[in-house]
Structure 1
Amino acid sequence: MTSITRSLGAVFGITMAVGVAFAAPAQAQPPLLNGTFSGAEGDPENIWQIASTCGPAGCAGTVASNQGWTSPMTLTNGVWYFSVTKPDGFICADGSFQPAVISMELDPATLRGVLSADSNGACPGGITSATPFQLKQV
């Protein structure tokens, strides 16, 4: 082996060692949710189909219920968020109809979530409540 070959081999070995030493730490896999789940909203008969993906622009997904609604969901700080709007969810004191908006957040690691809604929908005078729920994959 010539001295040039040995020198090139040594430089290559050092370059590889430096590259490995300074390589960026491995990124954790995003917490995807995919499959069929039950127990939402405290009702074991309420079944959700959830599909999610992640790419360079972030993570997004869709949740669809056997109760007839579908909602896009987004991942923020490791928690999935989505909301459901029921157009004529409430009749206000003045007789007008207002939507009921139900917001949900879901931890993909524990499948625990929180459902938040106003007791009067968009009518004045409601109280916002937060109710925990637990999903189960089926």
Structure 2
Amino acid sequence: MTLFRSPFRRPTRNVARAMVIWAAAVSCAGTAFAEPPLINGVFQGADEEFAWTIATSCSQVDCNGTVSSNQGWTSPMRLINGEWHFSITKPDGGLCADGSYVPTVIGVMIDPVSLGGVVTTSSDGECPGSTLTSRPFQLHQLG
């Protein structure tokens, strides 16, 4: 028969139980949903030829938005790999070597943090020898 009981035995067991509970809680916890940077407001490029009104939002599933131009077009936009993307088609935006006009697809990517982006234009292969061009741009928010 033991006359002396260690005062450290029960606390050690409780610490071990707490560690098991903590490890289970950490392993079962889901990843936190971080809200990606949204782009909302009226924006203009350095050349000041255009103004875009952009409205974006996110749900637990995806992020979407709309961009409208002062030049008369509107396009849906979507967040893909942390960048906002949208495209528009200009019906007569490409000029072929024979003088005919063809649709041009314009793709736009915007970094929501820096507001820098890239515009990529393609005549969609409708002209023989069609070209694909890309150029960077920088947005700034008005107001």
TM-score (norm 1): 0.75
Query: Who is 1:61 aligned against?
Result: 65
Q: Write out aligned runs for 1:7-86 (5 A).
A: 21-22=26-27, 23-39=29-45, 42-86=46-90
* In 2: Cα distance, 1:130 partner to 1:99 partner: 17
Map of 1:89 onto structure 2: 93
| Aligned equivalent of 1:6 | none
What 5-or-longer segments of structure 2 have no aligned partner? 1-13
In structure 2, give the amino acid aligned to 1:30: P
Deviations 1:99-121 (A, max 9, x none): 01111101001000000113687
Confirm or deny: 8 A CA contact 1:60 1:74 kept in the other structure: yes
CA distance in 2 between partners of 1:92 and 1:36 (Å): 34
Query: Deviation above 6 Å: which 4+ runs of structure 1?
Result: none
Q: Does 1:137 align with 2:126?
A: no
* Conserved? CA contact 2:103–2:123, under 8 Å: no
How much does 1:95 deviate? 5.3
Q: 1:72 to 1:79 in 2, by over 3 A?
A: same
- Native 8 Å contact 1:89 1:121 kept in 2: no
Q: Percent of pairs identical after alignment?
A: 51
Contact 2:105 2:123 in 1 (8 A): no
Structure-2-length-normalised TM-score: 0.73
Aligned length, in residue pairs: 124
Equivalent position of 1:110 in the other structure: 114
Query: Larger Rg: 1 or 2?
Result: 2
Change in 2 beyond 3 A, CA 1:59/1:124:
same
**Counterpart of 1:102 in structure 2: which amino acid?**
I
Per-residue CA deviations over 1:27-77 (Å, capped at 9, x if unaligned) read 3212211111111xx521311000011113311111111011111111111
- 1:4 aligned residue: none
Distance 2:50 2:21 in 1: 54
